[in-house]
Every structure is written in C-alpha cells, then in structure tokens.
Structure 1
C-alpha cells in the first residue's frame, strides 16, 4: 500500500479552527481571525505586526506582513514595502492585492534568526501501512530581505538541528525537536478524527526569539 496521498483540506481557516479546539495545541497557534477591516484594525492595535494570507494558498503566494507604528502603517510583500498614512489607504491597498479572495489575519511572530534572516521549520508526516511516519524535519532560512522562507522564494534548506543551533543554541536542539514532534502527533490525531482519510501533512512551525514554538499552518498537500 505504501504512502497515501489522502484527503485534501485546503482551507487554512478550517484547520486552524480545529487545532484551536484542543487545549494543548491552542497556545501554540498565533491569534488568527478572518480578514475584515475591523479585525485588521483591532489586531494591529493589539499586536502591531500581523501576517495577512490567503485562506487557500501555498508557496508563500499572497502572504503580506502588515505593521503599525507611530508614523502610520506599512505592508511588506516579498521584498517590497509600502507605507500608508491612514488605515483606510492601507485597507484599500490590501483589498486590491486580495482581489476578492478570502484571507486570514494572524499575529506576527518575531522569529529567531540565522545571520539576521528569519528561519522556520517544516515537518512532513505521512501515513503508511505501518502508521504515521516522519519524512522530514527541516529548517528553512529566508532569503536576505524577505520574511517568507519558502524554498520557491529563495529560502535555504538546513537540517532542523542546524537551524535550531544557529538561531538559538545547540543545547536547545533536542527539546525543540521533541516539542515539534509532540505537537505533530497531537495535531495529526485531532485532524484525522475530524477528517478521516488524510494521508500526509506538512506542519509549518516557527520558533520565536524567546524559544516558544508556534504552529503557523498545516498543509494536506505538502511540497
């Protein structure tokens, strides 16, 4: 039988909502809301930095970092940053980028960095005839000047151990990898109970500057 392609679940919102229902997983998910102007305003007031991304999408396409400071607002899309004096101008520009597509707003996380470049982690977990198995646990370092780490956007692949050592410390490797594995197993159980038939999952994790692990999203068609 081998590895299973399995059921697809495209909606980031649906997967996030399911994981938020579990008390041990929820603290590791950044606050997330559907994109509306009111939600954007309140989340910027609370967090100052958010990430706005399509409900359905992959490869870093359409992912925008939005910030608020004393001088107004700004968004960064790939390497381009635009500034806005008013909230209304920011929303108009984001709506133009969205082109009517459903988006999410997620609290921005200040990721640990390697040589000043953010790093996150991909854990690929697949179902085989002998149960769920790990296929990869790797780090992805963003291309200089970008905040997205996707390899198709110029990100660099390293082992998870190398990434954790270089961004935190070598002494943190076993603990952080262990925690990612624990969250992967827990989350897979929750998702499989709700959506029987899923056969492969790609977890995108981030570790912030204080060492806390965050789940950014889970893909059912991991690249």
Structure 2
C-alpha cells in the first residue's frame, strides 16, 4: 500500500509547478542561498526555510525582514540582526546540516492568534484513490510550526476552517481542497509512477486562498 517514496521536496514542487492551475497555489520557492534569501526577504518580508528532505517540522526556520531588522525564529526563540550578513552567518550555524529550500511566507488564518494548516491524506487501494483524512493542525501557543510532534493540536478540517474563516467559507474551501488534491494526484502519479500514498500539507491565508506547502509520500 505504501508504494513509491520520494523524500526530496524540490522534485515534488517542480512537478506540481508544471501545471499552470496548480502553480498559482504554490508559494514562490527557491533553493537556499544568500542571494535568493535576501531577494525573497525584501520581496515578501517573511520566508520559511526547510530541509529538502525531512518531516515533522525538523529544521524549519522562519526568517523575516521588517523596518531594517533581519530576524529568524527557530522553535520558540527569535534572533534579531541589524544586517543581512550577520543574520545569514547565524542562520547557517543554527540550521541543520542538510540542503535547504526557501519558501515564500504565508500569513495563515488563525484561531486565537495561533496559525492553523491542514493535512489531507489519500491512499490508493485496488487501483483507486480514496480519502483517508482531512484534518487541521493548530500550532502550539508561541510556535509557528503546526506539526503534532511539536505540540500542535488536531481538529477536523471542517472545524478548523469554520473557526478561522467562518462556517460559510468552510464548505467552499473543503471542496476546493479536494479538487486541488485530485488534480495534484494526477500530476504526481504521471511523474512518479508507483506512488500509493500521499499527504498534502495545505495552508489557507487570511483572505481564504489555499496554498500547497508540500506533499509527502510517507504521511504520518
């Protein structure tokens, strides 16, 4: 049932970017490097850097630039710097020793000030894909990562969307998430034959737009 596994986030992101409709739901993504990081920080004000391989929120760091101050948040600690170079040196010491990617930061809809995102899990059995779960993951107070292993709380997608965006929006967003998931399944299965299990990590921003953060072939 598990099927083919693909650890590299960059390869899966590239595959999804090949579809114009899906690409509009993917935050701008670059391979990690000083120039790319500085450019994206000045463009978006906030980015997230994450290891190309790995899950559970491991090694994920939020980096910001505002009012001339560069900063990064790792776990619940925030570090501030007056120059990009000083921040970049400290960031390289703090991050885990793996290859990284940079992703445009998304200001997620929140519940009581805590960001929430969503995991949609699908499995292929007897030649057909079926939905196993659609759940919301609410970050632990003080953290920006929502992973359950980092203290996040699980609730149904219906409840998460209703509480963060309102009940009327909730129904529409769940339907939209399913449509997007079905399109992505087709893309990934054609690009990587043999996948049999997929976990989609979605974010919904404050305006209600759905973003695809990553796709896992070994969803927990």
TM-score clears 0.5? yes
Number of residue pairs matched by the alignment? 220
| 2:132 aligned with 1:139 | no
* CA distance in structure 2 between the partners assigned to 1:170 and 1:66 by the alignment: 32
Instruction: Determine helix, strand or coil for the equivalent of 2:24.
Output: helix
Structure 2 residue corresponding to 1:128, chosen from 118, 125, 132: 125
* CA distance in structure 2 between the partners assigned to 1:112 and 1:64 by the alignment: 19
Contact 2:59-2:96 within 8 A present in 1 as well: no
TM norm structure 1 = 0.97
Structure 1 residue corresponding to 2:73, chosen from 69, 72, 76: 76
Question: How far did 1:99 drift?
Answer: 4.6
Q: Which residue of 1 aligns with 2:111?
A: 114
Structure 1 residue corresponding to 2:54, chosen from 45, 53, 57: 57
* CA distance in structure 2 between the partners assigned to 1:99 and 1:61 by the alignment: 9
Encode CA deviations 1:149-168: one digit per residue, 9 max, x unaligned: 00000000000000000000
List aligned pairs for 1:31-110, cutoff 5 A: 31-110=28-107
Question: How far did 1:130 drift?
Answer: 4.6
Encode CA deviations 1:137-187: one digit per residue, 9 max, x unaligned: 000000000000000000000000000000000001211001110111100
Contact 2:47-2:104 within 8 A present in 1 as well: yes
TM norm structure 2 = 0.98
Encode CA deviations 1:104-158: one digit per residue, 9 max, x unaligned: 1000000000011000000001100150000000000000000000000000000
Question: How far did 1:71 drift?
Answer: 3.6
| 2:19 aligned with 1:10 | no
Q: Which residue of 1 aligns with 2:27?
A: 30
Instruction: Determine helix, strand or coil for the equivalent of 1:24.
Output: helix
* CA distance in structure 2 between the partners assigned to 1:213 and 1:78 by the alignment: 25
Q: Which residue of 1 aligns with 2:196?
A: 199
**Structure 2: unaligned runs, 5 residues or longer:** none
* CA distance in structure 2 between the partners assigned to 1:15 and 1:176 by the alignment: 23
Question: How far did 1:97 drift?
Answer: 2.5
* CA distance in structure 2 between the partners assigned to 1:129 and 1:90 by the alignment: 51
* CA distance in structure 1 between the partners assigned to 2:138 and 2:96 by the alignment: 29
* CA distance in structure 2 between the partners assigned to 1:26 and 1:181 by the alignment: 16
* CA distance in structure 1 between the partners assigned to 2:23 and 2:142 by the alignment: 31
Instruction: Determine helix, strand or coil for the equivalent of 2:4.
Output: coil
Instruction: Determine helix, strand or coil for the equivalent of 2:203.
Output: strand
**Structure 1: unaligned runs, 5 residues or longer:** none
Q: Which residue of 1 aligns with 2:215?
A: 218
